Every structure is written in structure tokens, then in C-alpha cells.
Chain A
Amino acid sequence: MAVLVIADQTGGALSDNTHKTVSAAKAIGGDIDILVTGKDCKSAAEAAAKIEGVRKVLLAQSDDLGHGLAEAVEAVVTPLMGGYDAVLTPATSQGKNFSPRIAAKLDVSHISDIVEVVDASTFVRPIYAGNALETVQSSEAKKVITVRPTAFKAAGEGGSATIEDIGAGDGAGATKFVTEEIVKSERPELTGAKIVVSGGRAMGSAEEFQRVIEPLADKLGAAVGASRAAVDAGYAPNDYQVGQTGKVVAPELYIAIGISGAIQHLAGMKDSKIIVAINKDGDAPIFQVADYGLVADYKAAVPELMSALG
């Protein structure tokens, strides 16, 4: 039994999502190798080699891989699959983009967004926006899986795996990268943050969102999230969206401000340890999942919260 984990890295910095996916791989069992794809990302491979329990780190680098083009990543992974029984990828936008391609190329089912490994062939995954948990069993020779990182603890460090350069693969074919707009932020990454402060449609404008949500987040050292309604209205960038089809977070503390709590939003945050809701509508569904609810207009409540935090 051997399991390949595809690393999540940006600009050579290895994301914690990789460590969490390694934990899922350990639950499956067998030898664990990590594949790092990207450009100028040897440092990420070196960090991956230190994860405990990893046998070997494979490194593939090219421009197309640096842009994360799905065809290019899949073209590296699929030929390696002769040597593995399973391939696990963190269920980030990037992972969701290429992982199903690998399954199609191998003519096996794709098992998306698992939250639990029951045994080497049985997995639990949320369906219907997390309103149900489906347990599925695969009897296929190869398992192609994306892993919801927030559902697994990060594997520890202390390993010293070897790093092997495996070349760049066949590239992305006809698909060409043109440009990207990446939001640069000093704040913690949303899916890995210990505290998340999210704003909803009640903010009313992008200026108000920045004026209210961001200072509170910075005071708490928190990441900033948003409801779909706030993102759709242009109050916050798409990257902030927490929910069924956005990011799934499970911080120690989630503070929802002016968010009503639509099913699809709850799907992205209801596994948080402590949920705080501040909303002037006491009947808002968000209060049904909140550990602490404050029925108040955010315009008064957030300044009070800021001063109470000192």
C-alpha cells in the first residue's frame, strides 16, 4: 500500500493543508510520498520532507505548474499512479481543479471532500451543503480523493524524507496562463486561521465592510471572511467567501457579523469550535448554530466589542 499526497504550496511556502492531508493518508495506511508541484518551490519540498512519516518527496517544477494549470498538474500525477493505491489532495480551489481529472484518466470514481477515513476504502463526506454525511465505500484499485483539511489534525514534523526531482511532465497543452490578481494580505490565511471574523450583507458597502470588519479582525489577529451575499454585492473579494461553494473554515472562534445564516453559509463554518453571532434580527438562523448570540445592530455592537477587547 502506498499513498501519494499532493502538496498545497504558494510561492515556495508549504501550506498546513499539506500536513492535514498527510494525516488523512496516515489513516489510510501504507507508505506516504508527497508530490510538490509549482515553480521555484524547492523550499516547499524541503518543508514537506520534514513532515513526520513521509517516505519520499517528489518535486515537479515548470511555468505551467507554477500557475497551477489543471492539465499540467494532472499530467504529472497520472503517470505516477502505477506506484500508488491512492492519491490525496487538499480540497482547495486548486485541488478541486485538477483532482477529478486524475480520476477520469484512471477511469475511477472521484471521492470529493472527505472529512473522515473509516478504513482504507471507506470514507465520509458531506453532501447537500453538509446537511447530510455520506459514507461511501470504494472497491476500485485506485482511490482519487480530495480531503477537507479542516477535518484533520496537522501531521507533526521531525521527518527527513529524501527529495527527488521528477521533471515537469507534459505541461498544460493548449491552455495558457494570461494573468492573475492575487489579494495580498498580512492577515492569516482564511482556512487555517484560529479566529475568523466574517461580515454579511448588513454591511451595505465595501467601505463599511472594511471599516467595521477589518479593524476587528486585526485586533484579534483573525482572518476575514464574508457571506456569499456580501461577496455577490461586491463588499468583499470572492476569495473571502465562506460557504458550501466557497471556503470551509473550522477555527477556534468564528464571529459572524450581520450574517443571517443561509444554509450554504452554515455549510462553510458550522464545524467551528465556538461560533459568535451578532445580528439585529433575533430570529436569524445564524443564532441556531451560535454558541454566543448578541442581538444588536453591528454599528453599536462592534465598537463596544472593540473597546471591551481593550
Chain B
Amino acid sequence: MKVLVPVKRVIDYNVKPRVKSDETGVDLANVKMSMNPFCEIAVEEAVRLKEKGVVTEVVAVSIGPAQAQETLRTALAMGADRAILVQTDADLEPLAVAKVLKAVIDEESPNLVVMGKQAIDGDNNATGQMLSALLGWPQASFASKLEVSGDKATVTREVDGGLQTIEAPLPVIVTADLRLNEPRYASLPNIMKAKKKPLDTKDIASYGVDTAPRLKVVKVAEPPKRGGGIKVETAADLVAKLKNEAGVL
């Protein structure tokens, strides 16, 4: 059984993003980049399925610039077997990403796709759902638990109000939520080994998919800043301020 894990290179989650002064986007020059945290969770889950003997091959895929090779090497160091970079310098919208992934899936024929529920740059939370709709495969989003047995996946999902469990025959699209697992740190020997694992680079044009942007970004602005607050000395002061000054109690 083969599992495909799409991964995205994004701004490191510890870095505070700064909006460019010309309001054309977020400044990513000389900023630390890492694998999207939700993608890390997805890779971890796929590798655990391999360690349990449920799957035999974990293939990581990234769609992005040449530097996304680093992200794929991270996935390989975590335990993925091989990687595919679909190279493009364009910033693709979720629909385009889903279409390219569909083309990769048509070639690779995985039994399962595990991917992050959202990327922390665009915060769209859309690609997995779109991919499921394009492929006509069952969708199990926001997963906090995944069990694969035989030709069936049972997925517990984080929903409004609690948890929901669904099941579906493979192939299935699973999107990972925070509580699915805690991703491992790649060990130094595994980082060294990952350098020798296969990483294919493909030109995005070779898939013949329309990836032109559908949305025009008019501007990217700083959100309004909150005015400076004050410190109070005691809980009684706090209650007085909330009642008399803020009027919220």
C-alpha cells in the first residue's frame, strides 16, 4: 500500500510575518522557512503507518520553488521513502494545487493521501477538500485519529462540539488536525540517509494543468493595531475598571 503526503514550504511558525511596505504581500526575504506544521503531522502519520506495517511506501510531494527540496529532505529524514518536487516559482491557489496533486495522483496511484488541513501562510483550509472533490474520493478532514485496516479507513475528526468518527473505503483523502500526533524530530543519521533517498524534480508545465491565478490580490495590509492597555494592581481594581471604564460587566 502506498501513501502520498503533500508538503508545503512556508514561513517558520515561530517567525512573526511582516507586511511589505508597498502592501503587495508578506516579506519573505531572508526569513526562516520550514515545513508547514500540519504537513509535518501528515508526514508523521504516514511514517507511523509504515512502521506499523500498514503501508509499504511513503511518497512526499511538494509544489513550489527549488528550495522546497529542503522541505522534501525533511520529510525524507522523518521517514518518507522518496520525494517528488513539482517545481514552480508561482504562488499557487488551492484549486491549482489540488489540480496538480490530482495529476500526480493519477500517475502514482496511491491508496491514501494524508495532508495538512491548512497551511499557516494562506490559512485557506481548502486544498484537501478540493482534491477529494476533484478525485471523487471520500473526504476525511480535520483528523485527530486515523486507523487503516484492510481496504478501509476509520477517521476521528475534530468538529464543532467535539469529535465525529467516519469510515470510508480506500482510496481516501485525510487532512490532519493538530491532535493527530506529535511529529518526531529527524535524527542526524536519518538526515544523512535522507540525502541519498530519491528526489525527482518535475516541471509543473509537464502536467498540463491550468494553474493560472483566479483571484487578483489587490493589497496585503497590516491589521489594525490594538491600542496600548494598562496594568492593574489587584483583582478588585480589574473588576472596577471592567464595570466603570469598559462597561462590559
A interface, CB within 8 angstroms of B: 10, 67-71, 74, 92-94, 96-105, 107-113, 122, 126-140, 173-183, 195, 220, 228, 231-232, 237-239, 241, 244-245, 252-253, 263-264, 270, 273-276, 282, 287, 289-296, 301-302, 304-305, 307-309
Tell me whether B188 is interfacial, beta carbon within 8 Å: no
B window 195-249: CB within 8 A of A: 214-223, 226-227, 229-236, 238-239, 241-242, 246, 248-249
Tell me whether B109 is interfacial, beta carbon within 8 Å: no
Q: Point out the residue from B139, B223, B242 that lies within 8 Å of A253, measured CB to CB.
A: B242
Tell whether, in the assembled complex, residue B178 and residue A228 are in contact, meaning their CB atoms are under 8 Å apart. yes
Tell whether, in the assembled complex, residue B235 and residue A304 are in contact, meaning their CB atoms are under 8 Å apart. yes
Tell whether, in the assembled complex, residue B162 and residue A110 are in contact, meaning their CB atoms are under 8 Å apart. no
Which of chain A's residues have a CB closer than 8 A to the CB of B227?
Answer: 291
What is the CB-to-nearest-CB distance from A164 to chain B, in angstroms, rounded to a whole number?
A: 26
Tell me whether B158 is interfacial, beta carbon within 8 Å: yes
Which of chain A's residues have a CB closer than 8 A to the CB of B19?
Answer: 131-132
Give the CA-CA distance A294 to B232 in the complex, in Å: 5
Which of chain A's residues have a CB closer than 8 A to the CB of B167?
Answer: 175-176, 178
Tell whether, in the assembled complex, residue A181 and residue B129 are in contact, meaning their CB atoms are under 8 Å apart. no
Tell whether, in the assembled complex, residue B217 and residue A134 are in contact, meaning their CB atoms are under 8 Å apart. yes
Tell whether, in the assembled complex, residue B249 and residue A93 are in contact, meaning their CB atoms are under 8 Å apart. no
Give the CA-CA distance A309 to B241 in the complex, in Å: 12
Tell me whether B17 is interfacial, beta carbon within 8 Å: yes
What is the CB-to-nearest-CB distance from B97 to chain A, in angstroms, rounded to a whole number?
A: 11
Tell whether, in the assembled complex, residue B123 and residue A109 are in contact, meaning their CB atoms are under 8 Å apart. no
Which of chain B's residues have a CB closer than 8 A to the CB of A127?
Answer: 26, 121-123, 220
Tell whether, in the assembled complex, residue A293 and residue B232 are in contact, meaning their CB atoms are under 8 Å apart. yes
Tell whether, in the assembled complex, residue B158 and residue A238 are in contact, meaning their CB atoms are under 8 Å apart. yes
Tell me whether B141 is interfacial, beta carbon within 8 Å: yes
Give the CA-CA distance A291 to B164 in the complex, in Å: 37
Which of chain B's residues have a CB closer than 8 A to the CB of A101?
Answer: 129-130, 132-133, 139
Which of chain B's residues have a CB closer than 8 A to the CB of A173?
Answer: 138
What is the CB-to-nearest-CB distance from B42 to chain A, in angstroms, rounded to a whole number?
A: 14
What is the CB-to-nearest-CB distance from A174 to chain B, in angstroms, rounded to a whole number?
A: 5
Name 20 extra pairs, CB < 8 A, besides A132-B220, A294-B234: A10-B161, A70-B132, A97-B142, A109-B214, A111-B215, A113-B125, A131-B17, A133-B220, A182-B161, A183-B161, A195-B248, A231-B178, A232-B179, A238-B144, A245-B117, A264-B13, A276-B238, A291-B227, A292-B230, A294-B231
B159 to A, closest residue via Cβ: A93
Given A253-B248, A305-B238, A305-B239, A245:B118 Cβ within 8 A: yes
Tell whether, in the assembled complex, residue A183 and residue B162 are in contact, meaning their CB atoms are under 8 Å apart. yes
Identify 15 residue pairs between A and B in the complex whose beta-carbon atoms are under 8 Å apart, listed by A's number.
A97-B159, A101-B130, A109-B95, A128-B123, A129-B123, A132-B222, A134-B217, A174-B168, A231-B179, A274-B242, A276-B238, A291-B226, A292-B241, A292-B242, A296-B235
A70 to B, closest residue via Cβ: B139
Tell whether, in the assembled complex, residue B242 and residue A244 are in contact, meaning their CB atoms are under 8 Å apart. no
B136 to A, closest residue via Cβ: A173
Given A109-B93, A275-B229, A176:B166 Cβ within 8 A: yes
B interface, CB within 8 angstroms of A: 11, 13, 16-17, 19, 26, 38, 93-95, 98, 117-118, 120-127, 129-134, 138-142, 144, 154, 158-169, 177-179, 214-223, 226-227, 229-236, 238-239, 241-242, 246, 248-249
Tell whether, in the assembled complex, residue A109 and residue B215 are in contact, meaning their CB atoms are under 8 Å apart. yes
What is the CB-to-nearest-CB distance from A121 to chain B, in angstroms, rounded to a whole number?
A: 10
Q: Point out the residue from A139, A177, A293, A307 that lies within 8 Å of B164, measured CB to CB.
A: A177
Tell whether, in the assembled complex, residue A292 and residue B162 are in contact, meaning their CB atoms are under 8 Å apart. no
Tell whether, in the assembled complex, residue B121 and residue A293 are in contact, meaning their CB atoms are under 8 Å apart. no
What is the CB-to-nearest-CB distance from B27 to chain A, in angstroms, rounded to a whole number?
A: 10
What is the CB-to-nearest-CB distance from A65 to chain B, in angstroms, rounded to a whole number?
A: 14
B175 to A, closest residue via Cβ: A97
Which of chain B's residues have a CB closer than 8 A to the CB of A245?
Answer: 38, 117-118, 177-178
Which of chain B's residues have a CB closer than 8 A to the CB of A102?
Answer: 133
Give the CA-CA distance A259 to B118 in the complex, in Å: 24
Give the CA-CA distance A107 to B139 in the complex, in Å: 18
B210 to A, closest residue via Cβ: A107
What is the CB-to-nearest-CB distance from A246 to chain B, in angstroms, rounded to a whole number?
A: 8
Tell whether, in the assembled complex, residue B235 and residue A94 are in contact, meaning their CB atoms are under 8 Å apart. no
B231 to A, closest residue via Cβ: A293
Which of chain A's residues have a CB closer than 8 A to the CB of B140?
Answer: 175
Q: Which 8 residue pairs spanning A and B have beta carbons closest together?
A: A304-B235, A100-B126, A104-B130, A100-B129, A104-B133, A109-B214, A101-B133, A135-B218
What is the CB-to-nearest-CB distance from A277 to chain B, in angstroms, rounded to a whole number?
A: 8
Tell whether, in the assembled complex, residue A137 and residue B218 are in contact, meaning their CB atoms are under 8 Å apart. yes
Q: Point out the residue from B126, B159, B246 that lies within 8 Å of A110, measured CB to CB.
A: B126
Tell whether, in the assembled complex, residue B218 and residue A97 are in contact, meaning their CB atoms are under 8 Å apart. no
